[in-house]
A and B are shown apart, each in its own frame.
Chain A
Amino acid sequence: MAEALSEYLWPSVAYLVTGVVHALLLLGLVAVGTVIFIWMERKIAGRIQDRLGPTRVGGKFGWLQTVADGLKLATKEDTMPRDADPILFKLAPYIGLCASYATFIVLPFATGWAAVSSSISIFLIIAILGLEVFSVILAGYASGSKWSLFGGMREAAQVVSYEVPLGLCVLVPVMIAGTMDLNAIGEMQRGWFTNWLVFHDPFTFIVFWVYLTCATASVNRAPFDLAEAESELVAGFHTEYSGVRWSVFFMAEYNSMLLVSMLASILFLGGWHGPLPVFDWAGIAYESAASPFSWGGFLANVFGIANLILKGFLGVAVMMWVRWTLPRLRIDQVMRTCLKYCTPIACFCFLGAAIWCWAFPGGVLLKPAPFAGVRETDEMIFTLSAEATDGVANSSGEEADAGEAATGEVAASEQGEPAAQQPNSVDSNATPEPAALAGGEQ
């Protein structure tokens, strides 16, 4: 877009305009998403508890309830306890919002459509998402209240430990794809839904559920919401907050819920590709991120965005369903889930997936091998990397992150864009029926 605009404007202005448009689009998604999520949360909670949820505000389904809530929050008095640390108390909510919003910078929404395309986008997202914990810890500490302090401490312990299995879960798709570029990972799953990484092998299928658990824990949602735990800690880290500042915490929370669900759908559930490759049959989708502009590709990408956002919303709905179904865990149960179940399962699945990749280089279901280079790796390097995996995966998650993710990239270093990719389904079903067209992008 910047290039197109710079024909009419000065380049610097064109870049500025492009940047502002991108930022506003993302902000729109985030803000509207939060409004819808809060309404969804109320409705789902109501239905699960055999109530109706909001019904009056805004007519039929109470769909203006969130707006009414927002107005109420905006008119509330903004209080601060006398014992609080004023600077940190005021800044804490915004840190979380900034962190969870900033991750959207590198998240691709469709083929080649990311605000900033980076070859290490998944790594960046994990790194930035880790900063979100600051807002909770600082809020807990700066409030000068024991409830808040306890909430903050629980959150710190929980998030720091859940980063390890989360990183290990993310490593599995990274290893299979041979790249940390989310765009390439998403493109790899083009075609039928059997190409989705969750169906790549049994290990990725298990890892997907572990990822979902860890993601729920890392965004501090029930049953892992010990940091708020209203039955024991009043409201945990946000006990002392009111009004707009309180709502900023929740914007950040819903925002990162959307983010981790979209990440799950890119890593495991085909990202912006529908279950049926409708636009590949029609032959109008972009071949890769480097394809020249075409209106068909544009249309396919718009549907791709709709696809990704829909999957993200479904993920958030699952999180809400879990929240209103399961009771909250105790802190020792949370720690045990992380250290005794999630981490070993993730390690095991990582090794299993590595062996699977070695045993079935072409994959079983995943037919079109997009990164032809991955399979032609130098044998020496591959065996080396397998050994390194054993040692490092057991010793430390974080170190493993650096080492292995980079290792998996060995083959992708030639960075052939997925050129060897053919829509494998063309032969089986050459003419898309209208029904398939309609159903495909659902």
Chain B
Amino acid sequence: MEGVNWHSFYFLLFGMTACVFAVAVVLTGSIVRMAFYLTLCLGATAGLFFLAGAGFVGAMQLLIYVGGTLVLLIFGVMLTAQGPFVSMKTRAGEWVVGGVVGAMLLGLLLQAAFRVDDWMGPDPGVASAAMEKTPPGELGIRLLGKPGDNEQAVGFESGYLLPFEIVSVHLLVVLIGSAYLARTKRRRRATDAAEAEES
């Protein structure tokens, strides 16, 4: 009992959950079930982030991917579905393409993994220490253009201000675009109605 390494235990638990449900996503046909398995898979990945001491990234993962994207996915399926349960048939060609892409990614990751000389066993204190060391406030400072030590070393003088602004402008464009799309549709319908009345 003395030697139980809870860090490893939870790492394996989350890792296995993520892998099992990732496979389930590939194998199942129903889109909503797929989204549900993806929820569990991404949730387990968020757990891995928490375990690594990256609490902010983990919370972001939950908020954006699990809470945002997947809800919208299911919502979209519910709005557009013709029959009661939508299922997706995958053709042979898609399996081949997917398999090739997946194998390439796996090869890349394996190569990177085996290039590490020496894997250190997890130290139970590491995660909490990492949490303590990098409060999320640092992230905000970087986003506002104050470079950290690492970035300065590689000549990244302005921190993450530029990417942050690009993303902000991008989001603004998307919002305006969607508002515009919704608006034109309504206007056209109004004019249609007006024409119908005239004729």
Contact = CB atoms under 8 A, between A and B. Distances in A.
Given A119-B135, A142-B32, A406-B136, A126 B78 contact: no
Contacts of A412: 135, 137
Contacts of A402: 60
Interface string B1-16: 1111010000000000
A119 B75 CA distance: 33
Interface stretch (A47-55, A321-329, A385-393): A385-393
Contact of A120 (B66, B136, B138): B136
A85 B78 CA distance: 14
Interface string A338-352: 000000000000000
Contact of A385 (B1, B63, B74, B144): B144
A141 interface: yes
A368 B74 CA distance: 48
Interface stretch (B93-101, B109-117, B168-176, B191-199): B168-176
Interface in B105-142: 131, 135-141
Interface in B58-97: 59-60, 62-64, 66-68, 70-72, 74-75, 77-79, 84-85
Interface string B135-161: 111111101111000000000000000
A150 B74 CA distance: 13
Which of A83, A124, A404 has the most B CB atoms < 10 Å from its CB?
A124
A118 B138 CA distance: 15
Contacts of B85: 85, 144
Contact of B32 (A15, A128, A141, A403): A141
Contacts of B72: 160
B4 A12 contact: yes
B2 A12 contact: yes
Contacts of A401: 63
A409 interface: yes
A233 interface: no
B144 A381 contact: yes
A413 B62 contact: no
A410 B76 CA distance: 39
Contacts of A415: 135
A127 interface: yes
Contact of B78 (A130, A131, A149, A411): A149
A119 B129 CA distance: 12
Nearest to A400: B168
B31 to A, nearest CB: 10
Given A88-B36, A138-B36, A409-B136, A156 B74 contact: yes
Nearest to A180: B136
A134 interface: yes
Interface residues of A, number: 62
Contacts, number: 154
Contacts of A12: 1-4, 6
A265 interface: no
Contact of A127 (B1, B3, B63): B63
Contact of B140 (A144, A399, A403): A403
A384 interface: yes
Contacts of B32: 85, 88, 138, 141-142
A87 interface: yes
Contacts of A408: 140
Contacts of B144: 381, 384-385, 388, 407, 410
A399 B141 contact: no
A130 B140 contact: no
A143 to B, nearest CB: 10
Contacts of A180: 136
B140 A407 contact: yes
Contacts of A159: 71
B136 A137 contact: no
A399 B171 contact: yes
Interface in A113-153: 118-120, 123-124, 126-128, 130-131, 133-134, 137-138, 140-142, 144, 149, 152-153
A69 interface: no
A416 to B, nearest CB: 12
A169 to B, nearest CB: 16
Contacts of A442: none
A133 B71 contact: yes
A156 B78 contact: yes
Given A130-B62, A409-B136, 8 more contacts: A123-B136, A138-B32, A157-B75, A385-B140, A388-B144, A391-B168, A395-B172, A406-B140
3 closest A-B pairs by CB? A406-B140, A409-B137, A130-B67
